[in-house]
Amino acid sequence: MTRTTGRPWRSPYVGSISARVRPALVLVAALSALVFLGPAMETGPPPRLNVLLVVTDDQGLGDFGVSGNPVLRTPRLDAFAAECPTVERFYVSPVCSPTRASLMTGRYSYRTRVVDTYRGRSMMDPSEETLAEILSDDGYRTGIFGKWHLGDAFPLRAVDQGFDTSLVHRGGGLAQPSEPPENEGRYTDPLLRRDGREWARANGYSTQVFVDEALSFIDSCADAGEPFFAYVATNAPHGPFDDVPDDLYQRYLKRDLTDVLTSDGTNPDVVARTYAMIEDIDRGFGRLLDRLEKRKLDRNTLVIFLTDNGPVQGRWNADLRGGKTTVYEGGIRSPLWMRWPRRLSPETTVDRIAAHIDILPTVLEATGTPLPDGIALDGRSLLPLLEARDEPWPERQVVVQAHRGDTPERDHNCALVGERWKLVRASGFGSSRADPNVAWQLFDLMADPGETTNLFAEETDRVIAMRADYERWYSDVATTRFDNFGPPRIRPATSNEPVTTLTRQDWRADSGTGWGTRGRWFLHFDDETDYELRLRFREARTLDRVLVAIDQRIHDFEVGATAASIPVGPIRIPAGHATLQVECVADGESFDPYQIEVVRVIGEG
């Protein structure tokens, strides 16, 4: 279960990687073990524990020096890993929003109404209690810096879900249809939204901007003597890759990337750009650690590092199979590094599986924060394992499942993972329906961590038992929201958010690929009054007419204007649920606006 040994830290990923780990880490691990002070050596009651949670975007298990990457430089993360207990297998979802929903709630994402990453399918039900809400109610100051990806409008924003302070981008990332058109896809000096209201042009590369904001937040909390929960969720190394730290990019262009290129047509330039983003994350993470040490907060702060899923580009991934969107190990494995010098020893190794659903209960136990009544968690606190307590730990299985589409589908792109055995149906993320020709597979992860040998035919009884376990899980978890898997309702133009921007991130698309070319938003209006719609475009467009559909009622506006932002209205909208569609017409062409701002007409109604 949990082993405490005197050996130096080793890579917990795949046996073939250990030889690639740098010898310097042996010294780092040894020094970390020497400076570890257990609870018995502390004097006096400590102040309340702070929590710093860092999550990166599309960074694979092989994207660290400590995992044996022969090219990539991540010295601060490597050294940090040596200061933490070794968690041998930690699982996340194969894509962004499902992982983030589970992190924030301790529950499987299907319970939260999150099924996908866009088209209104990544909006988390606002009734879910988040880690930020629970800690805030217990006296913590809470801040998020970077990527939320669980809803962009009231009541779904991070500031509506427990975060006192926020500096975030909308949607799944910069350079997506959720960003303001003025941002023009930039990662450097990006436009970011502060505290759910104002947009601000940041100064610097996005990763360092988020770190800067987190540092200011930590300083403010330290000055006030208040415990904090800081959630730093970088947009990097998610694409696009045209805007990366140039000094690091030039360095990797000169490196021999042969050992990290895969045989599936890997673009070495993209790998160089990705590695530049990752090394920039490493130096930003180092700045966070340095500030904790400078403020003498390092011994009383639980620092957690993980990634949200595997890598999207073909590059070395710790000899694991697959990448982002797949339910093979390469798509759903992440490091879990947790440093808390007062309580956790780097000599401890946890050989039981852990997952994203375990983060919330672990943090609550560590901080002594009670779980509110009526909340049923799927995860378990990992502290008994991390502290090497002599306590029973019942064996369990973890399920990961995600694919495109408005609702879950049984047996589609899913995996049931146990301590040794893994049942997989890798039917692909990109379709809302499973390909019936894709068969189930069974792997012995202890003997075959690279998932090369399918034992489905040889282990019939085991397959039957695990299929039944999956069916029970699906019937429980996926049916939690079967009564309503539609997106949560956005409440536009309230006092919480006077100007609400509707984007393709949160609409339900009726046609088109990707984010779609025609769609509708599911809204709720608090009272009957008049609203104006400001139609926004990436560049100036000429409009002849605009058709606005509120449910089945059509409002037809003659426009005859050319601009990048064109208002229409006022429109009287009754209180209650409504769907909104907008169709622009010019020279016989029909198209949707890039974004829509909904504004209450003051003094009317």
Any idea what DSSP says for residue 199? E
- Mean per-residue pLDDT of the chain: 91
Query: Mind listing the pLDDT tens digit for each residue in 201-251?
Result: 999 999 999 999 999 999 999 999 999 999 999 999 999 999 999 999 999
Q: What is the rounded CA–CA span in Å between residue 21 and residue 317?
A: 14
Worst-scoring range by mean pLDDT, 12-16, 144-148, 398-402, 539-543? Answer: 12-16
Output the six-digit token pair for 445.
Answer: 């992860």
Confidence class of residue 10 from pLDDT cuts 50, 70 and 90?
Answer: very low
Give residue 14's pLDDT. Answer: 44
How many angstroms separate the CA atoms of 357 and 62, rounded? Answer: 22
| Token code pair at residue 604 | 């009317």
Residue 483: per-residue pLDDT? 56
Other beta carbons within 10 angstroms of residue 557's beta carbon come to 17
| pLDDT score, position 486 | 82
pLDDT tens column, 574-599: 999 999 999 999 998 999 999 999 99
**pLDDT at site 45:** 67
Cα angle 175, 181, 187; round to 5? 35
pTM of the model: 0.93
pLDDT band at 31 (very low <50, low <70, confident <90, very high): very low
pLDDT score recorded for residue 484? 64
Question: What does the block give as tokens for 181?
Answer: 């058109």
Which uninterrupted H or E stretch holds 355?
A: strand 354-355
Using an 8 Å Cβ cutoff, are 338 and 344 in contact? yes
Q: Read off the pLDDT of residues 69-82 as tens digits, 9 standing for 90 and up.
A: 999 999 999 999 99
| Residue 22: HSE in the Cβ half-sphere, 13 Å Cα cutoff | 19
Task: Check whether 22 has a pLDDT greater than 60.
Answer: no
CB of 89 closer than 8 Å to CB of 361: no
Contacts of residue 156, defined as CB under 8 A and 6 or more positions apart, other chains included, come to 123, 124, 126, 150, 488, 490
Q: What is the pLDDT of residues 128-174, one digit of tens each?
A: 999 999 999 999 999 999 999 999 999 999 999 999 999 999 999 99
Q: How confident is the model at residue 96 (pLDDT cuts 50, 70, 90)?
A: very high
Q: Are 124 and 114 in contact (CB under 8 A)?
A: yes
pLDDT of 373 reads: 95
Residue 16, pLDDT above cutoff 60: no
Give me the pLDDT at residue 18, please.
38
pLDDT of residue 357: 98
pLDDT in tens, 342-391: 999 999 999 999 999 999 999 999 999 999 999 999 999 999 999 999 99
